[in-house]
Structure 1
């Protein structure tokens, strides 16, 4: 079982990697078989590519955790998204395995950063 402190620390480290553009460091926060449901991809490389695409389009983009809820091996995060054409919100649910992200589901509210 993941403690609230462990889950919160993992989420905040991941967001710091994104916000500081240290994408390679985030790979260690994910299991080798990490699965992103929104991307339909296994492994963190697809996520890293998506992060690079987003930050190229929105160089000032940042995510800030507003709420982090933990239940067993699941962590739900509501984050504000700053630095895009209009503020938005990101909702993500992660499954944690042995202190690392193993699986992720998510939705974005606000402008679609892919367009």
Structure 2
């Protein structure tokens, strides 16, 4: 069972890796068999590619966890996304992610986003970049 403190620390370490652009260090936070359901791929390499594509398009992008809820081996995270202008004054972009944690590392992820400009969600940016 994952404690709230352990899950919160893991999420914050991952977001710090993203915000400081230390993508290779974030790979260490994921199991070798990590699976991203939004990207439909095993391993964290596709996640790093998605992060690189998002940062290339929005150099000032940052994520900040607002809520982290833990139940058993899962952590649900609601994060605001800074550095991306919302279209037509809409609400600030947000990410909603659920992580399964195994052995203190991310093993699986499901996610959705809202408030991103058209074709600018992390999954859309990756698909367009050919990754």
TM-score under structure 1 normalisation?
0.97
Deviations 1:23-79 (A, max 9, x none): 000000000000000000000000000000000000000000000000000000000
Query: How many pairs are equivalent?
Result: 115
Structure 1 or 2: more strand by fraction: 1
Aligned to 1:77: 77
Tell me the C-alpha RMSD between the 2 structures.
1.0
Q: Distance in 2 between matches of 1:66 and 1:2?
A: 19
Query: Which residue does the alignment assign to 2:101?
Result: 96
Runs (4+) of structure 1 exceeding 6 A deviation are none
The 5 A counterparts of 1:1-115 are 1-86=1-86, 87-111=92-116, 112-113=119-120, 114=125
TM-score by length of 2: 0.86
Structure 2 gaps, min length 5 = 87-91
Compare CA radii of gyration and give the structure with the larger one. Answer: 2
